[in-house]
Amino acid sequence: MSKIINTLINKKCDLPIWFMRQAGRHLPEFRKIRNNNKDFIRLCLNSKLSAKITVQPLIRYDIDAAIIFSDILLIPYALGQKVSFKKNTGPELSEFDFDIFKKINKKKFKKILNPVYQAIKLSKNDMDTKKSLICFIGAPWTLIFYMFGLKKINGELDVNKFKRKIPEIRKIMTKLTNFSCEHIKNQILAGSDIVQIFDTWAGLLPKKYINEFCIKPNLRIVKFCKKNKIPVICFPKGLKKNYKLFVSKVKPDCISIDYDVNPSWAKLNLKNICIQGGLNPKMLLKSEKKLMYELNRYLKVFSGKPYIFNLGHGIMPNTNPSTVNKIINQVRSFNGK
């Protein structure tokens, strides 16, 4: 049993460590591959290269898990939307077409995403059996945020467009949640042993819709995971104090906190659950003194609790790998004082 699963399921205090977005972005060995593969979706669907990128951090770092190199937007892609990534602006999706969406069945969905499942098998073959292989999905609300183009240029929610689209969102929510579960199942069957649900834009939901569009879909997926004995981590980024409501309702095996959540508040309010993450990725760009102060703050607060060290979001592209190694060394040497 891996250290992470032991912490998730048995609530052991072994202090495992991994990093969100560790596969890619900041690694020179990844950038070399990326420079020769300009189409990001095609790269994600290249099983051999995806597997190679997945295990790159395990070669470089003393960490406890790999996370499959993939993307949350492969689900809308497999459900009929065109997805492209524009430099400096992020993902762009074609206009949502309900007629195309409703025609996609599980067989076609699985066929389109089969390269992801093959990449998981290849990655697993290249990994130490004591390490976990994490797969992931985007939560339904976060996928909808992209599928319906609800993001303003400044990164905020286009509230007026959101309200206009609510009937359509409700119309597709059940099927989208079902296909999210299908993608989890297929990734686990391929060899992953943990799933993380990224609800990256949960914090942008107006308060009156948090239960309907964040908590209920996450709860359905977590229930599916528990029924199938799949360890599950939820990351409803940006919920602030509604993290407490989320944990009480959804009850995943682990809750990943973002950098706006005070770790002391999390320790006090998020009871009987493994906690992951928290450290602001921007701290990795600060002086070593500032970084270590913040790092030790998290380690001390969660000492003696089931805690997985991670960041409060993904590693930033301009992070120096040597800084990541310093964090790992400090976590490994931490003795609870």
Least confident of 12-16, 48-52, 68-72: 12-16
Dist CA 149 CA 143 (whole Å):
10
pLDDT, position 337: 47
Return the CATH number of the domain spanning residue range 3-333: 3.20.20.210
User: What pLDDT is attached to residue 90?
Assistant: 80
Calpha distance 149→146 (Å, rounded):
5
Instruction: Give the residue extent of every domain in the chain.
Output: 3-333
In this prediction, residue 85 carries a pLDDT of 86
Q: Which two structure tokens, joined as six digits, stand for 63? A: 């960490």
336 pLDDT exceeds 70?
no
**Which tokens belong to 236?**
């409803």
Specify the pLDDT at position 148.
97
- Confidence at residue 89, expressed as pLDDT on a 0 to 100 scale: 73
- Please state whether beta strands 90-93 and 83-86 pair in parallel, antiparallel, or not at all (unpaired): antiparallel
Over residues 152-167, the mean pLDDT reads: 94
> What's the mean pLDDT in 262-267?
98
Lowest-pLDDT range, 44-48, 81-85, 158-162, 164-168? 81-85
The whole-angstrom distance between residue 208's C-alpha and the CA centroid of its chain comes to 25
pTM value?
0.97
Percent of the chain surpassing pLDDT 90: 94
Residue 206: partners with Cβ closer than 8 Å, 6 or more residues away: 157, 159, 162
The three state secondary structure string of 119-161 is HHHHHHHCCCCCCEEEEEEECHHHHHHHHCCCECCCCCECHHH
The identity of residue 135, as a single letter, is C
Supply 210's token pair: 């948090």
Residues 6+ apart with CB under 8 A from 39: none
Local structure of 239: helix, strand or coil = coil
Q: Are 68 and 23 in contact (CB under 8 A)?
A: yes
The CA distance from 268 to 305, in Å, is 11
> Which residues, including other chains, have CB under 8 Å from residue 33's CB and lie 6 or more apart?
43, 49, 52, 53
First to last CA, the chain: 27
Average pLDDT taken over every residue of the chain: 96
Average pLDDT over every residue of 258-273 = 97
pLDDT at 335: 67
**Lookup: tokens for 50:** 């995806």
Q: How far is CA 7 from the centre of its chain?
A: 18
Q: How many CB atoms lie within 10 A of CB 280?
A: 17
The SS3 call for residue 83 is strand
